[in-house]
Structure 1
Amino acid sequence: MADLFDKFQPLIDQYEALRGSGLRDPFHLQMDEIKSPTRAVVNGREIILVGTYNYMGMTFDPDVIAAGKKALEEFGSGTTGSRVLNGTYQGHAECEAALREFYAMDHAMVFSTGYQANLGLMSVMAGRGEYIVLDADSHASIYDGCAMGNADIVRFRHNSVSDLEKRLNRLPAEAGKLVVLEGVYSMVGDIAPLKEMVAVAKAAGAMIVVDEAHAMGFFGENGRGVFEAAGVEDDVDFVVGTFSKSVGTVGGFVVSNHPKFDILRLVTRPYVYTASLPPAVVACAATSIRKLMSAHHKRAHLWQASRKMHADLRGAGFELGTAEAESAIIAVKMPDQQTSAAMWTALIEEGVYVNMVPPQATPGFNLLRCSLCAEHSNEDVAEIVARFVRAGQAVGLPVSA
């Protein structure tokens, strides 16, 4: 009898080899204490967090915490129901109101996770005889949402305006089309050329979704994302986002100006058939979103810190995923998985946590991924770079201070 786990054997072998190498397991690190958005305790030692996506440092904001405590006391620990049944509380409505104000859009719909927001939207927006056109490097949640639906899926080369245009021009002119883009791509932190891509999509008669999960909070004058910074707010039909990055809690959302948007509440399965977020979570999210509207100083500092760290790591000899800092994500390329794991372990020993990206997420190359926080000081950035250099030298990389 065939073992249904046999198809995973190559990955199992790879993982077992990593665990048997004597290096730390990068995928099961336990954080025993979280002291701030930038500090944690692991095995009794304090480490600097440089891989949490906590871009704006809102997880310990006193107003956010106070709102969560108040909601927990007044509304209990959970809703025990879907948004379309008993799971819409005052806090869920308030959270959607905060999103409408933040994005200056007419409609907002909160999901239990960002993953479910993409899963829900992609699975229902296009059906048989219609097309979803997406970047080849799209997030897994986008691909999974497409797999749930019945539309034909067309991929174009990552960030290639010309390939997007070519593939759109091959589709029937009368067919419904949805173009899916991301403001910031999370593997290497590069941004999409949204101005050009949106123009191409509109010329082909397509509707447009932009996932701003990794851009909300610090791109654009109001922190709305790359689509705001690119000046295409009036041409984007849907914006998808998450609360688990800059907002500092958990959940997902879709915002839009489309007049028929609310029908999605009845046809989107990951919304209809999932318990809604706990009252404390939506209270935290609403408070955080409203504070992000005026977080101009945080945005400015995060950009300054990201550019500084990117330049200093490049200057030390590290190979990075982008030529310059395009976002708060800084991807450090490694020559192979063994070196990647060794470097990750050396960084933990130096007191720095980054993400070692699982090999299946980045076919063809190995990455250590950093994400800076607005709460990282200039001194933190200098210390992180110094520890990177020491760790790199310890594993034999050609780097120097």
Structure 2
Amino acid sequence: MPALAAAQPSRRVGRLGPGQVFADLKVRVNEGFNLGGDYHSVAGDAPTDRKSLEFFKRYGANLVTITASRNLAQVVGQPVPSERSVEELGPWDGDALKRMQDDCRKMDMVLECVRMDSAFIIMKTNDDRRRWLDRLKDNIRKCSEAGVTSISYHWCMIPQQRNKRAVVRGGATHNGFTLPANWRTLPPDYAGVVSLEEYWARIEIFLKDIIPVARQYKVRMSLHPFDPGGLPAGYLGVTNYDADFANGLKRYVAMVDDPHNALSYCAGVGGESFKNPNDQLEIMRYLLERNKVTQVHMRNIIGGQNDFQEVFLDMGDINYYNITRLLRDTGYAGTILPDHNPRHPDDPKSLQSYGFANGYLLGLKRGVNEEAKLILGQAA
């Protein structure tokens, strides 16, 4: 059996026992969290065609996340903010959702989540945002009727920040980010200048209007933190809700304290948001113990806040053994997904990278549960 990763001690607790990440959190066996696949690794022509679903299933993923387009049919890319009108952003095709769910069920899989774009947060007028919210309410109903249990989203006031690329290993390359020295003089991006107060005001309107509808239809709204977190206030004209990453997420889930106001928590973003990437364990525990997480995205980095390089899951600074221990011991019952894998010319869709990542995540899950059995004296 390989040597176990050393636990990261918490600032809040004392001496740790075997296999613990927090001394006051008891070790348990937890088989309740499962592997998912999403739009990052679409093997076929559409995310739920047979070729794509067989790829997910071969590598242990039985839960599927798609991105939203006008017809919810052939969607591969990352949803990005847009100045598009409400009409161009929908409505979603409820019949297409049902067909995609049927495709999954035929293979004993589940279409669990739709990733929508972030147009709401950058729309210029209250009227446009209100019309968008009305459209989303109908889309929530369609998801519920199709058996989709979650809608995730990514409030991008500015584009995802990457400004460098490097060889990781074996000729594979991946992206990174270093905060520019002249960041204070950079002009605002497409959203213009948006104060922290205005940003939170838009979020409050969204949550107070949408979460009751999500509760009615039993669809959890799941925020993916902005990537990267922890950018300085005023960067490219805006101050994100997560300028202070941990407190921003606490404020977000507390604004409407309801199980349907949740997170697609990204441990890669969490690592990018602290000087020490493993300091995110505190905020992860806070959210997990309050049932505020529907999915956990997993990718690794070298570095930390405002200076990092993305790498393969097994080679970075984030201790994913401890993160998986935390999922185990908090009783997490959601989905884990690989995220942002390196690319190589021989693997244009990164399917090799995602197959490797899936196997790594399944190994982590089995490893922490075998460890728990040993600690608890259960038969392996």
Instruction: Using structure 1 for the length normalisation, give the TM-score.
Output: 0.29
Rg (Cα) greater in structure: 1
Q: Which has the higher contact order (CA 8 A, sep 6+)?
A: 1
Which structure dedicates a bigger proportion of its chain to helix?
A: 1
